Homo-oligomer: A and B are copies of this chain.
């Protein structure tokens, strides 16, 4: 038995994943650890999937409701979705198998602001949480849990759940201990205190999760890697988008609207944000900070280069090479990286106080600056809103980025009217594609339309966007936000019918 379980009582709860899964009844509400493929339980979900399959083969109904931090991995979302094992999924996912079950109607999905996801459970709006299933790098002598590569909603799920199952994963570095900041002071109203963070680097809590050991019904020993996927090499579009954003920041500094070392950076996950980080690496900016959700490769490079003094997040999302480096050198990185609960990493209070510069991907923006982050053609869920709303609404400057076209030009990321709104015109300040940047601050809807079409739309779509705008201006009796509701979804309808947004 591993020496990673120092508490005698919990050592006595060690069992196989199958034995632990047998403790979970049909209909259970389970709060799983895990955020962006980091720090999720890896063996219990597989065993649970097997149990569900056996039940289904015996003709019994068996689903569970799965709460997480954010996205997990094939070993959690994937295996449970594959066996039609998930009744309700929330607050975020990005697994292809899970997504398919959401979109074919098998599973319900509640797409939630990540800053809300803990509090709605703590407030009791979902009813009783039966189980918390979390990953630990070790269990201390007094029964506390040292988290692994994410914190997510672990604290809330451990506090609220009736029963606890812990996976102790010896793949995760013991040196992660000391990197986490677990604040136990956050309560539900009317007793909610001030969050005492005024700088991204403030530590306000413990380095461990405190639990009631009597709630632990199983401890499972594992040795499994996180789902770490490599980033693609930076392509020309991503580099162009990153360049526009950095030039924009540079201009804000020149005009005295941003400090020389900018403000704390938030960055969504993906290739464009990684290109932005690469651009920062090659700039002469210094003393940068980050208050964000996820730490990806580019931030590690910025720390190594001495350009980023501190990064606060709730999880890692690293390529396999960088994950190994993090495991090897966690003792060094924990001086400049803090992993917090996601309700703190994503909290409006802290984000607006610090004045975060947000940068997130999108599916589409419309000519008036509304952004769709979640639904293809208004109906098909991609991943979810994640933390993009928490950061965008409260950012000092909010930006959305996307290539201007997708699927070899069949899809335009700029449309007359987005098919689903996740970020309203009131919240979106800057839109960037490889074509250029539209600074929407201080512009009314008709002014935004011209700028977005001119600066951001792909040349192949500019004429038909202008056609729409001009026709809408004529057709629309009210001119504040001109629209022709008979034509506002022509792009999307043509795509659904003919496979392209190009109108012939």
- B355 with A190: CB separation less than 8 A: yes
A198: chain B residues within 8 A (beta carbon): 193-194
* Structural contact, B493 and A353, CB atoms closer than 8 A: no
Asked whether B480 lies within 8 Å of A489 as measured between CB atoms, the reply is no
Measured CA separation A427–B115 after assembly (Å): 12
**Distance to closest chain B CB from A151 (angstroms):** 20
Best-surrounded residue of A189, A256, A376 (most CB of chain B within 10 A): A189
**Quick one: closest B residue to A444, CB to CB?**
B108
The DSSP consensus for interface residues of chain A is: loop
Contact with B along A266-289 (1 / 0, CB 8 A): 000000000000000000000000
Q: Which B residues lie within 8 Å of A232 (CB)?
A: none
Q: Which of A465-504 contact B (CB under 8 A)?
A: 476-483, 485-486, 488-489, 492-493, 496
- CB of A247 closer than 8 Å to a CB of B: no
Q: Report if A217 contacts B (CB, 8 A).
A: no
Q: Does A328 contact B (CB under 8 A)?
A: no
Residue of B nearest to A105 (CB): B479
Instruction: State whether A421 and B478 are in contact (beta carbons under 8 Å apart), knowing that A444-B110, A446-B105, A493-B485 are contacts in the complex.
Output: no
Is there contact, CB below 8 Å, between A124 and B442? no
A483, B379: Cβ atoms under 8 Å?
yes
Residues of B within 8 A of A348 (CB): 348-349, 352, 393-394
Across the two chains, which residue of chain B brings its CB closest to A489? B485
| Closest-CB distance, A287 to chain B (whole angstroms) | 11
Could you tell me the distance between the alpha carbons of A194 and B196 in the complex, rounded to whole angstroms? 8
Q: Are A396 and B123 in contact (CB under 8 A)?
A: yes
The residues in A between 413 and 434 inclusive whose CB is less than 8 angstroms from any CB of B are: 417, 419-427
Asked whether B489 lies within 8 Å of A493 as measured between CB atoms, the reply is no
Check A108–B447 contact: CB distance below 8 A.
Answer: yes
| Total copies of this chain within the assembly | 2
- In the complex, A84 has a CB within 8 A of chain B: no
Q: A188 touching B355 by the CB < 8 A rule?
A: yes
Decide yes or no whether A112 CB sits under 8 A from chain B.
yes
State in angstroms the CA–CA spacing of A408 and B13 once bound together.
67
Across the interface, do A126 and B380 meet the contact criterion of CB distance under 8 Å?
no
Given A109-B480, A481-B420: A441 touches B125 (CB 8 Å cut-off): yes
Complex interface: chain B residues within 8 A of A478 (CB): 103, 376-377, 379-381
Give the residues in chain B near A425, CB-CB below 8 Å: 111
Does A345 sit at the interface, judged by CB under 8 A?
Answer: no
Is residue A263 within 8 Å, beta carbon to beta carbon, of the partner chain? yes
Cα-based distance from A380 to B124 in the complex (angstroms)? 40
Total contacting residues, chain A, CB less than 8 A: 82
Q: How far is the CB of A400 from chain B (nearest CB, A)?
A: 15
- Docked pose: A116 CA to B441 CA in angstroms: 12
Partner of A421, one of B110, B354, B370, B377: B370
Say how far A128's CB is from chain B's closest CB, in angstroms.
Answer: 12
**What's the Cα separation between A96 and B120 when bound, in Å?**
40
- The docked-state distance in angstroms from the alpha carbon of A368 to that of B276 is 35
Residue in chain B with minimal CB distance to A476:
B379
Q: In this assembly, does A407 line the interface, its C-beta being within 8 Å of a C-beta of chain B?
A: no
Interface 0/1 of A247-271, CB less than 8 Å to B? 0000000011101000100000000
Q: B110–A442 contact, CB under 8 A? A: yes
Minimum CB distance partner of A368 in chain B: B420
Q: Mark A187-223, 1 if CB is under 8 A from B, else 0.
A: 0111011101010000000000000000000000000
Q: Give chain B nearest CB distance to A242 CB in angstroms.
A: 23
Q: With a 10 A CB-CB cut-off, give which of A194, A422, A423, A492 has the most chain B CB atoms.
A: A194
Bound together, the chains give a CA A376 to CA B111 distance in angstroms of: 27
- Assembled-state Cα–Cα distance A426/B117 (Å): 11
Q: Judging by beta carbons under 8 Å apart, are B486 and A488 in contact?
A: no
User: Does B189 contact A477, Cβ atoms closer than 8 Å?
Assistant: no
Residue of B nearest to A123 (CB): B257
A206 to B427 CA separation, bound complex (whole angstroms): 31
**Chain B residues within 8 Å of A380, by CB:** 477-478, 480
Is A104 engaged at the interface, CB distance under 8 Å to the other chain? yes
- C-alpha spacing A296/B128, complex, angstroms: 39
A124 and chain B: residue at smallest CB distance: B257
Interface string of A292-319 (1 = CB under 8 A from B): 0000000000000000000000000000
Contact (Cβ within 8 A) B379 A109: no
Question: Is the C-beta of A385 less than 8 angstroms from some C-beta in chain B?
Answer: yes
Q: Which 3 A-B pairs have the closest CB atoms?
A: A189-B355, A380-B478, A108-B444
For the complex with contacts A105-B446, A110-B443, A348-B349, 19 further pairs of A-B residues with Cβ separation under 8 Å are A104-B479, A108-B446, A109-B480, A110-B442, A110-B444, A112-B426, A125-B257, A193-B198, A348-B394, A377-B485, A379-B476, A379-B479, A379-B481, A380-B478, A421-B421, A422-B426, A485-B493, A486-B489, A488-B489
